[in-house]
Structure 1
Amino acid sequence: MRISVTEAKAQLTELVRRAESGEEVILTRHGQAAARLTPVRTQPDPRTRRAIIDAVRRAGAAKASPGPSAERSQDFLYGEDGLPE
């Protein structure tokens, strides 16, 4: 949404709510974009961030478990003669 700075003064609370919910709010001056309202993204503390990174690395390094063989995975679609059922 684009809104002039003059109009935004009267609607600041509503504009902040919209920005917090993810809507892009552009403030304009004389028809030109002057500023953008965006939500503040808080980052986790360093220990929490490190724990998340380590967990992702462990999960990525874990060996994948073998699933069913793809070679015969659709045999149930065909009869003994090899034709679709």
Structure 2
Amino acid sequence: MQVSVTEAKGQLTELVRRAEAGDEIILTRHGRAAVRLVLVKPMPDRKSRRALLHAVRVSAAAKAAAGSSATHNQDFLYGNDGMPE
């Protein structure tokens, strides 16, 4: 459903109800689509967010591979004086 911004001012409550029900509401300005009203998904509670962050950290730690230190990776390219060989 497309509605001009001017018309939407008078029927905002109804448009919000329709968007909450799943209807696609597009607001137009000068005949061109400007914005879309969409339902906002509820934010997860604090406990759920913490559990998700913990799961991501555990997964990342499991995937991390130990390797040589980046500070010494290219030492073979330089002499004892720090200049390229």
1:47 — aligned with what? 47
In structure 2, runs of 5+ residues without a counterpart are 56-85
**CA drift at 1:42:** 1.2
Q: Normalized against structure 1, the TM-score is what?
A: 0.53
Q: Normalized against structure 2, the TM-score is what?
A: 0.53
Letter in structure 2 aligned against 1:15: L
2:25 — aligned with what? 25
Letter in structure 2 aligned against 1:23: D
SS state at 2:18 partner: helix
Q: Deviations over 1:39-70 (max 9, x none)?
A: 1211212423528xx7xxxxxxxxxxxxxxxx
Alignment coverage as a number of residue pairs: 53
The equivalences for 1:1-85 within 5 A come to 1-49=1-49, 50=51
2:66 — aligned with what? none
Work out the percentage of aligned pairs sharing the same amino acid. Answer: 63
In structure 1, runs of 5+ residues without a counterpart are 55-85
Deviation >4 Å, runs of 4+: none
SS state at 1:7 partner: helix
Letter in structure 2 aligned against 1:12: L
